[in-house]
Structure 1
């Protein structure tokens, strides 16, 4: 039997801001070593020395994506080992007719057996305490009270976490919402309701179209009355007028920065 691959991930201790009265309550934050895009994945596959040329690996990678999309959009459920995916419809059907303006297709993802086994084969190393990081620990939609990153245009949206206060004079400072097409909407000063270190509340622009957006909060706030020389940024996916995909284990796409100007994964999702 082949030896199971072993993995290792580092974590740092951080105060749990949810339990404010318990000064000894801490959480563990994964230490990010960067982001891996498709180019990084292909490069890692080439580095495995499989004997396959980069062009061949890239072709197979693109072929798999094309086949998975075709199967999903034909009504198949796909079990790819790392994930299980299936499609579903949203919206009320009127007059027995599909209306793209009111109806949509979504793809739901759940953790697969391969990934669950990888988790079992992973060792977590605690490498000490983390500095005064910026992160988003929770979100809430004022319209629905949902805390799953859904939001409603024209209504208040709450971010809770640490060192979130939007402050500083750098051009990047502020909150932006970027759609999947790349269109960016900046939250203007008049849309801020609360701007505290542990809580920021702002109004989602009423004209914002439904869809998935990458929320990006950039600040120079460094705790107390201190402003940092460089900016720090935290990001999180939110879903305006729609619902997040099912991942079987919470959202993993959000991000924050633990040191000035550097981004890393959101410790709480």
Structure 2
């Protein structure tokens, strides 16, 4: 089955060249694990939903366990391996200076789907609002991970927080509980059209979040009548206190 991705051309905020364009995905929607289960059921495999959920959950748990025990994991969908950040001092693991992260690379199944995918360019959107990159300034990671009490960088276009609507600002919505944390204005330490620097709340609970930027900014001195938003998936996972000594 052929696939199609729809995209808009937009100015590249990294350069000043007006002819430098990038493509921004026209999203089809948001899909979670339940959408995956729904699509699996639609394949008419004869499996019950309970069986599908059990097998997928088991797959996730085993993959995580293998990675956290040093295996280089190749599933066909992705290749993954554990990596380390930070300088080791005194031969000991320091949770303040050292971190574990997982490096993922697309594998055969994804490459095969890419080969069957066409891109439909819808046109140019000069005023499009988008987030193209995020970075945890403590760890340097760009995978959406957050560190409470530290700065978080967001890069894109038309992100500047401005306007009078009460919805204006930056919020973090916990995807499990739907609880929303809205950042105070003074927690937005850099507020530019192409970049934001945010101070993440020091008491942020562990979990997966949807970071949403809402503004009435429309470029230059222009202001939108109604606010618009763009979201990006982020997450915070506590590090365990007990870490092995590195011999």
Taking structure 2 as the reference length, the TM-score comes to 0.72
Shift of 1:186: 4.3
2:108 to 110, 113, 120: 113
Cα separation, partners in 2 of 1:118 and 1:189, compared to 1, 3 Å: same
Distance 1:80 1:199 in 2: 36
Aligned to 1:31: 26
Corresponding position of 2:168? 173
Q: 2:54 matched to 1:55? A: no
Cα distance change, pair 230–193 in 1 and its aligned pair in 2 (3 A): closer
CA apart distance, 1:45:
0.5
- Which residue of 2 is the match for residue 233 of structure 1? 230
Aligned to 1:253: none
The answer as to 2:37 corresponding to 1:42 is yes
Deviation at 1:37, TM superposition (A): 0.4
Instruction: Output the TM-score relative to the length of structure 1.
Output: 0.67
Query: 1:40 Cα shift?
Result: 0.3
Q: Are 1:196 and 2:192 matched, yes or no?
A: yes
Instruction: Verify the 8 A CA contact 1:177 1:214 in the aligned structure 2.
Output: yes
RMSD value over aligned CA atoms? 4.1
Contact 1:221 1:228 survives alignment (8 Å): no
Distance 1:83 1:51 in 2: 26
Identify unmatched segments of 5+ residues in structure 1: 243-269
Q: Could you tell me how far 1:221 is from its partner in structure 2? A: 2.5
CA shift for structure 1 position 238 = 8.0
Map 1:122-201 to 2 at 5 A.
122-130=117-125, 132-138=127-133, 148=142, 158-176=153-171, 186-201=182-197
Which residue number in structure 1 is paired with residue 243 of structure 2?
Answer: none
Pairs within 5 Å for 1:34-113? 34-90=29-85, 104-113=99-108
**Match for residue 6 of structure 2 among 10, 16, 26:** 10
Aligned-partner Cα distance in 1 for 2:14–2:87: 38
Q: Tell whether the 8 Å contact from 2:152 to 2:197 is kept in structure 1 after alignment.
A: yes
Look up the SS of the partner of 1:8 in the other structure: strand
CA distance in 1, matches of 2:92, 2:189: 42
Instruction: Quote how far apart the aligned CAs of 1:127 are.
Output: 2.4
- Deviation track 1:67-119 (CA, whole Å, cap 9, x = no partner) reads 22232233322211111122244555666565666655432222112212221
Q: How many residues align?
A: 235
Kept after mapping to 2: 8 A contact 1:11/1:30: yes
- Provide the secondary structure at the position in 2 that maps to 1:64: helix
CA distance in 2, matches of 1:75, 1:153: 27
1:218 maps to what in 2? 214
Unaligned runs of 5+ in 2: 240-247
Q: Distance in 2 between matches of 1:207 and 1:222?
A: 31
Counterpart contact for 2:212–2:229, Cα < 8 Å: no
